[in-house]
């Protein structure tokens, strides 16, 4: 175990993890997940929101086992290596709102940073614009972090607090397996559209548990990769992210899943203002919250109650995004330049910028 | 890893840094700032409370050419003793 721990925390460890995640993500697409969406934490949390009836966009409703597996895999890793620590108390309502707006931004672009990388690995040129927005957003976050922004300290707390999100995930898994039939129709499962495109749930769950495990051990974080390069010229996390891109790209070539272009890419649009702006907002929100959406799930699995609140904020943000039509719509029905999506992104940016300026304080005590 | 107790009042000395409860990247940022003032032979004690912070701070310290020892406390925290090599 000690040797495994030493390997996974090394540079070769995170590169191997990135390669593995990229390969598995492409494989999930081959097994039935939507195109260029083998993994998308934002989209999949949105699908869960839909399945629970928090929104009624019928094309995107499904209890994604990948989200459940990420949390479980991280929990297993944390317990095995004695890193499970129930902790909370670091401005939870702020983290909830950061999760909310991170999702608003991600859905404007139609993907989280994980999906942005997978879209690029699948040949979607629009992802380049999204990634540029993400880098800029994280860069703004770094400026705030450098000038003293922080959300305060968390504290060790009762184990029940840390167990909440894994228990919620267990509940979702039971709903997925049992599929109860209720008069309301919940839980909802899409019959068409991206929500209906899914790998076998056991395969998806198993793959996600593996990813959750290695990601927890390697501290994998797509936002952190960009942040650490800008902040400290540290390429440790970045090497894992590049490896993910390479692994996914190679497997896409093997599976015949690479198609280069801008227009007509799966579950993507060509409104580049929204692609850039959405990921600018998402990147800034992730930076202010301390982790990308995948990382927040892995932290939740290891007992971090504040990360769990961020995840819940993302799920609620997804519901809002679809109920108030701020989410992007795929080509050829591009979202308008001046519409609800742009408005929501601007509000989110204003919120995050205000937070960055206002939450700068000393950490004494 | 050998466990021992840690008295919280010990963290207020100048050569000690309390990074408990701080999320990424603050433990590394604060440690890096303190390491800039550390001369050869001097030590800095950093206390963190997550495996991530433990590994990140250790990696930073080794990258800066320091020796690092880690011990776990009964409360589940980690004390990293970082010594600038002569």
- Prediction ipTM score: 0.90
Half-sphere exposure of B20 (CA within 13 A, CB side): 21
Determine contact: B40 vs chain A, CB below 8 A: no
Contacts of B48 (CB under 8 A, 6+ apart): B19, B20, B22, B27, B54, B57, B77, B78, B80
Where b means 16+ CB within 10 Å and e means fewer, A298-324 reads bbbbbbbbbbbbbbbbbbbbbbbbbee
Chain A interface disruption, residue of B52, B53, B58, B71, most A CBs within 10 A? B52
B37 vs B29: CA distance, rounded Å = 14
How confident is the prediction along chain A (365 residues), in pLDDT tens digits per residue?
A: 888 888 998 999 999 999 999 999 999 999 999 999 999 999 999 999 999 999 999 999 999 999 999 999 999 999 999 999 999 999 999 999 999 999 999 999 999 999 999 999 999 999 999 999 999 999 999 999 999 999 999 999 999 999 999 999 999 999 999 999 999 999 999 999 999 999 999 999 999 999 999 999 999 999 999 999 999 999 999 999 999 999 999 999 999 999 999 999 999 999 999 999 999 999 999 999 999 999 999 999 999 999 999 999 999 999 999 999 999 999 999 999 999 999 999 999 999 999 999 998 765 54
- Residue B8 predicted with pLDDT over 60: no
Determine contact: B22 vs chain A, CB below 8 A: yes
Contact A155 B23 (CB under 8 A): no
Chain B residue with CA closest to A292: the answer is: B24
Q: How far is CA A87 from CA A162, A213, A215, A302, B50, in A?
A: 6, 20, 20, 9, 10
Q: Are A348 and A103 in contact (CB under 8 A)?
A: no
Chain A residue with CA closest to B19: the answer is: A153
Contact B20 A153 (CB under 8 A): yes
Stated pTM of the model: 0.95
Collapsing DSSP to helix, strand or coil, B45 comes out as: strand
Q: What is residue A2's predicted lDDT score, i.e. its pLDDT? A: 83
Return the number of CB contacts < 8 Å for A and B. 56
- Specify whether the backbone of A232 is left (phi greater than 0), alpha (psi in -120 to 50) or beta: alpha
Contact A219 B55 (CB under 8 A): yes
Determine contact: B68 vs chain A, CB below 8 A: no
- Distance, in angstroms, between B51 CA and closest chain A CA? 6
Q: Give helix then strand counts, H and E, for chain A.
A: 15, 2
Q: Are A202 and A28 in contact (CB under 8 A)?
A: no
Beta bridge partners of A124: A261
Contact B52 A219 (CB under 8 A): yes
- Residue B11 predicted with pLDDT over 70: no
């Amino acid at each position: 175990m000690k040797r495994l721990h030493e390997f996974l925390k090394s540079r070769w460890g995170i590169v191997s993890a990135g390669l593995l995640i990229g390969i598995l993500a492409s494989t999930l697409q081959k097994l039935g997940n939507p195109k260029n969406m083998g993994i998308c934490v934002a989209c999949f949390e949105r699908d869960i929101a839909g399945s629970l009836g928090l929104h009624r966009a019928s094309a995107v409703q499904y209890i994604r086992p990948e989200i459940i597996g990420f949390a479980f895999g991280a929990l297993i890793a944390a317990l095995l290596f004695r890193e499970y620590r129930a902790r909370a108390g670091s401005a939870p309502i702020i983290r909830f709102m950061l999760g909310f707006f991170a999702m608003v931004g991600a859905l404007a672009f139609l993907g989280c940073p994980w999906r942005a990388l997978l879209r690029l690995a699948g040949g979607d040129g629009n992802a380049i614009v999204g990634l540029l927005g993400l880098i800029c957003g994280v860069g703004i976050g770094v400026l705030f972090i450098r000038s003293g922004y922080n959300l305060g300290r968390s504290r060790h707390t009762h184990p029940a607090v840390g167990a909440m999100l894994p228990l919620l995930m267990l509940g979702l898994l039971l709903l997925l397996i049992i599929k109860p039939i209720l008069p309301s129709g919940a839980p909802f499962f899409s019959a068409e559209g991206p929500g209906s495109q899914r790998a076998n749930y056991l395969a998806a769950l198993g793959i996600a548990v593996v990813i959750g495990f290695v990601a927890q051990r390697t501290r994998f974080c797509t936002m952190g990769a960009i942040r650490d390069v800008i902040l400290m010229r540290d390429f440790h996390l970045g090497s894992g992210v590049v490896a993910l891109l390479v692994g996914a790209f190679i497997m896409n070539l093997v599976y015949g899943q690479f198609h280069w272009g801008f227009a007509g890419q799966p579950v993507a649009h060509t409104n580049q203002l929204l692609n850039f702006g959405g990921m600018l907002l998402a990147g800034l929100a992730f930076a202010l919250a301390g982790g990308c959406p995948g990382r927040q799930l892995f932290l939740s699995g290891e007992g971090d109650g504040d990360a769990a609140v961020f995840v819940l904020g993302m799920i609620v943000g997804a519901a809002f995004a679809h109920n108030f039509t701020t989410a992007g719509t795929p080509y050829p029905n591009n979202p308008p330049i001046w519409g609800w999506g742009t408005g929501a992104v601007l509000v989110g940016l204003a919120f995050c910028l205000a937070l960055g300026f206002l939450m700068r304080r000393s950490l004494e005590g | 890893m050998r466990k021992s107790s840690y008295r919280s009042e010990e963290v207020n000395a100048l050569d000690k840094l309390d990074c408990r409860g701080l999320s990424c990247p603050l433990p590394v940022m604060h440690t890096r700032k303190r390491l800039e003032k550390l001369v050869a032979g001097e030590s800095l004690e950093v206390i963190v409370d997550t495996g991530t912070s433990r590994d990140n701070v250790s990696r930073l310290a080794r990258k800066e050419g320091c020796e690092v020892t880690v011990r776990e406390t009964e409360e589940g925290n980690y004390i990293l003793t970082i010594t600038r090599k002569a």
